[in-house]
Structure 1
Amino acid sequence: MNALAAATAQTALTFAISAAGGFAGHALGLPAGWLMGGALAVTVAAMAGAPVGIPDKVRDVAFVLIGMSMGATVAADSLQLIGQWPVTLAGLVVELVLIIAITGWVMARFFGLDRGTAYLSSFPGHLSFVMGIAAAGVGDARQIVIIQVIRILILTVAVPIGTLFLPIEHFPAPPAPQIMDVTTLLLLAAGCTAVGWAFDRLKIPAGFVLGAMAAATAAKLGGLFDTAMPPPLVTITFVMTGALIGSRFTGISRGEFARAAVGGLVATGLTVCITTLVALAVSFFVAMPFGQIWVGLAPGALEGMGALGIALGYDTAFVAAHHVIRLLLLSFAIPAVVVLIRLSERRTAPGE
């Protein structure tokens, strides 16, 4: 009983710190504020010696929620958008392959990261999904979160700075999505849990996360539901994810932090260079402004890039569609790359 009480107190403390940090991050307007604010708060607490940690069973619940929330955010009409801009969407695919392959290789070759850490650090988007997989034990979550946070902060801050010099008075708010009813939520949760459990039993890396994501994505694209998860549940998911990430930072050294920070700057630079070169190549084949192509292909936040597109008078449908498709492609690419990395590690393991 004493052990159970201690574990409960530790979990409650960890979630409380994450919730407080998440609230602060959201209030300050940080990207993915509830997630990143929570992760940063628990990280500071862990590095300061606070007794933070999450039991395995609670961790698995968080993993299912992460996967379910990722699948539920896939746009139901994303598959229909693919045929509208074939050349630029082909450029988007090439860009993603180059960013992941080159950045992952550089992170592994020059920063000494293992393949899981290097490639999860290279994915240009789906931050919460990447963090969820990292928290599930794929790669070094501490290195991944530092690199990814630096990348998204630079890209997110750069867009508002650019728009300060533009005549923008108002960005129309996106229509509020319809929230799923309790029955749909419970059925979706049950299906995601079942598939996640099956993936975990099959020894698939981050099985609960990937299984839940696969189930929710299939259901969304299959038309079984077209509503969004309740915002409070999404917030709880981000708080839990932040707690999982931050609790892994116990014992991190300054050298380890500095190396990851430099890696984040390098990864961001590579991403911007590759995006610019691909956009330039695509511009020779389509009759549209180079800037519009670049904004559509740039791996920044959909809201920021959409606002920039409005400010510059670009086709907002083009910009939005390309960012939706990018997230859809990453929803499939991330688990595929993780599985390939694990298979490669098994083949090269000593004695095998």
Structure 2
Amino acid sequence: MPFAPLPAVAALLRFLPTLLLGLVGGAAALAVDLPLPWLLGAMIATTLVSLAGVRLRSPGRGRQGVLVVIGVMLGTAFTPEMTGDPRLWSASLSAMLVATAAMMAFSVWFSRRVAGHSTETALYAGVPGGVSAVTGMALSSGADLRVVGMTHAVRILVLLVAIPPVLKAIGHVDLAGATPDLAQWLWLPGPADAAWLAGAGALGAWLGRRLRLPNALLFGPALISSALHFTGVTHAALPPALIALAQVIIGVSVGVRFTGTSLAALGHTLAMAALQALCLLAIAILAAWAIHATTGVSLPAALLAYMPGGAPELSLVALSLGIDPAFVTAHHLLRITVLILLMPVLLAACRRLNA
């Protein structure tokens, strides 16, 4: 009887060509000094190949593992030396919720009146974030799942591509950063630090699911890792190579969502999603500028915190660029939690208005 590889090994082998494409895209982006090279390079390469008609494999469960890694990484930003005015955080969190309400109102109106989608489709496609949870909730509704998924995918794509020029325009941000040398790329934490990091990931994933946190595999490990780092129990850091790999897989995860997409068949959906994303980006920029002007909150941090969607992606960008990842993560966690809790109420309200 021929040897049959384990399902996980077989899935990994099927995903390898996609991963290699992402790595090549990331390396090419690094070579031309593209900001966020591993993330954007992998995303752009896989998106272009997907839209060309090539069927690429998604990371599958591999993305879940990457979410745990990103969660642990986010926790390392919560150090005992971390500074922050609770009053400014409170003001910014409140402003973010107001901006989120404006984004939701615009998205639903746009999807219904301009794009012509149903109420259910407009609501689930318009949620500014939490794509995994929102898609799961949409399964039991009458929403068009293809439109919902494509709208979220295009929004994340547009936001990630827009981040470098927008941050460059507002200034005060080093988009290039330092490129690690070979010794830094090969650096690994010691056994004790590795044990702390692995323990934070495993315990956090269990706790996140136990508490039914939104995006449990991201925010559960982030909570445990932040507690360990903030109390000074450990100062363990993740190796640069693992961080780069996480960026590649997240970038690939965005790009492969366009696999099987026909530009001719879905041209209207893609165009409407892109236009909606640009309008939501404008709302986020205005809200970030307003809170910065009134309270002095960092404009780049507020911008990443207010951007409509993609908590793993935007938190990873904040980490990669050193833009107050704790601040950005806290905002996305609050927004996703509030939106998930309010979705049934919002859906009922939209149905009454359109009855």
- TM-score grouping bracket, smaller chain normalisation: 0.5 to 0.7
Q: Which residue of structure 1 aligns with residue 104 of structure 2? A: 104
What letter is aligned with 2:331?
Answer: A
In the alignment, structure 1 residue 93 sits paired with structure 2 residue 93: yes
User: What secondary structure is seen at the aligned counterpart in 2 of 1:299?
Assistant: helix
Task: Say yes or no: does 1:207 pair with 2:210.
Answer: no
CA RMSD of aligned residues (A): 4.1
How far apart, in 2, do the equivalents of 1:196 and 1:270 lie? Answer: 33
Q: Do 2:26 and 2:38's aligned partners in 1 also have CA atoms closer than 8 Å?
A: yes
- Residue from 60, 70, 84 that aligns with 1:66: 70
Change (3 A) 1:10 1:47: farther
In the alignment, is residue 228 of structure 1 matched against residue 237 of structure 2?
yes
Mapped to 2, the partners of 1:211 and 1:13 lie a distance apart of 31
What does residue 37 of structure 2 align with? 33
The answer for the alignment partner of 2:340 in structure 1 is 342
Q: Distance in 1 between matches of 2:69 and 2:30?
A: 20
Partner Cα separation in structure 1 for residue 10 and residue 177 of structure 2: 45
* Secondary structure of 1:251 counterpart: coil
Counterpart-to-counterpart distance in 1, 2:220 and 2:273: 29
> Structure 1 residues 193, 275: CA separation in 2 closer, same or farther (over 3 Å shift)?
same
Could you report, residue by residue, the CA deviation over 1:144-175 in whole angstroms, capped at 9, with x for unpaired residues?
Answer: 34324434544532454576xx9xxx99979x
Q: Tell me the residue number matched to 2:152.
A: 144
Distance 1:19 1:55, change over 3 A: closer
Aligned residues: 300
Paired AA for residue 13 in structure 1: P
Give distance in 2, aligned partners of 1:186 and 1:10: 30
Task: Tell me which of 239, 246, 270 is aligned to 1:237.
Answer: 246
For the residue of structure 1 that corresponds to 2:303, the secondary structure is: coil
Structure-2 separation of matches of 1:296 and 1:47: 32
Q: Superposed, which structure 2 residues align to 1:248-287 within 5 Å?
A: 248-252=257-261, 253-282=266-295
Counterpart residue number, 2:118: none
Quick one: distance in 1 between partners of 2:123 and 2:333? 14
Aligned to 1:214, the other structure's residue is in SS state helix
Rounded Cα–Cα distance in structure 1 between residues aligned with 2:210 and 2:12: 27
Aligned-residue offset at 1:278: 3.7
- 1:257 deviates by 2.0
Structure 2: 5+ residue stretches without partners = 113-120, 139-147, 306-321, 349-355
Deviations along 1:217-244, one digit per CA (max 9) or x if unpaired, are 2222222223431110101111122222
Identity of aligned residues (%): 18
1:93/1:216 CA distance change after superposition, 3 Å: same
Give the alignment's TM-score, normalised by structure 1. 0.68
TM-score by length of 2: 0.67
Query: What SS is found at the alignment partner of 1:73?
Result: coil
Counterpart Cα distance in 2 of 1:136 and 1:218: 30
The aligned counterpart of 1:318 is none
Does residue 333 in structure 1 map to residue 337 in structure 2? no
Taking the aligned partners of 1:192 and 1:183, their CA distance within structure 2 comes to 14
